[in-house]
Amino acid sequence: MTPAVALAGAVDGQVLRAAGWTVRGSLRLTPYDDPAEVVSYVGLADLLADDSLQAVALDGDDPLTARHLPALLGHGLHVLLPTPGPLDPDLLRHARQAQGTAEVVVGLLARWEPWALTVAAALPLVGTPVLQATIRGWPRGAASAAELVDMARSWCGDVLSVAAVPAPLPATTLGPGLPVAWALLHEGGATTLVSHEGPSPLARLSFATARLEAGPFGARWHGGAELPLLEPPDRRDVPFAAPVPAGCPSGLLSCAVSLAEAALTGEVDVARWPWPADLGDLQAAAAVLEGLRESARRRAPVRVG
């Protein structure tokens, strides 16, 4: 059986086809939207009336489509969010209440990057928790911040409180020309300090007895040899699948494959890392971003949750 999916908003149907989906139709929001050479639904009710669908790939960055998330989940449809959006805490709370047994796979894709996989594999080798994470050169923007929060939670645990300039921070700089923009306090007492300045992203994880440095250009223990970067597992075992679109992130393709498996088995496989982010991960990131905005407005640290 080939699962069927509908597109809602600016979503690339070729990615879904490459993951083994049949793209059944597209929810057009305006008369000039590209119908993607499939049936056009005239509205949400028309889409929900299509009993052949198992899932919807939803453009969560567009408020016009993101608002449909609770209704889709309440109807029992699985959902793929190709990007880490929406980040509206109220909408996500309503979606969680409506979710039932439907699965949500979220395109938080940094966890699939080779350097992030290498960090995840290296952490258990230390045997002690991360005491501090510092990140320089991280891109600005809500989506990039959500990606970093997702990784920081995997390194250091859930976030308890946040601070963003002009609020007081645990440290104001990571070095000359590297001002700290925001900070996270994690449940185990670790802190994450983030600077947007720097030539390229570089994370430094400090432990009681070691320090690990990693970024897109490599990973190494402080004072040690460079670590070989791990590649994400190839999860595409789909007969007659369409070619993978040029430039498609491997993480996004894996997310689409994982949701196809969920459509057939009823759940996302989380037996091996990396597994896709879910609605809970997106909620956690959205709560942290909302806390950072509130911290900047109040000029004070803010508790999360």
**Each residue's pLDDT tens digit, 137-151:** 999 999 999 999 999
Do 105 and 122 belong together in one domain? no
Do 178 and 257 belong together in one domain? no
Confidence at 86, pLDDT banded by 50, 70, 90: very high
Distance CA 131, CA 89 (A): 29
Number of domains in the chain: 2
Distance CA 242, CA 213 (A): 38
Strand partners, 81: 106
pLDDT of 76 above 80: yes
The reply to whether the predicted model has a pTM over 0.75 is yes
Residue 57, domain member (yes or no): yes
Mean residue pLDDT across the chain: 93
| CATH number for the domain that contains residue 48 | 3.40.50.720
Residue 248, domain member (yes or no): yes
CB atoms within 10 A of CB 120: 16
What pLDDT does residue 207 have?
Answer: 97
Which of 294, 293, 278, 288 shows the shortest CA–CA distance to 84? 278
Domain carrying residue 28: 4-109+235-274
What pLDDT does residue 298 have?
Answer: 98
Rg of the Cα trace of the chain?
20
DSSP 8-state symbol, 286: H
Do 163 and 294 belong together in one domain? yes
Which of 32, 89, 83 shows the shortest CA–CA distance to 58? 83
Do 69 and 135 belong together in one domain? no
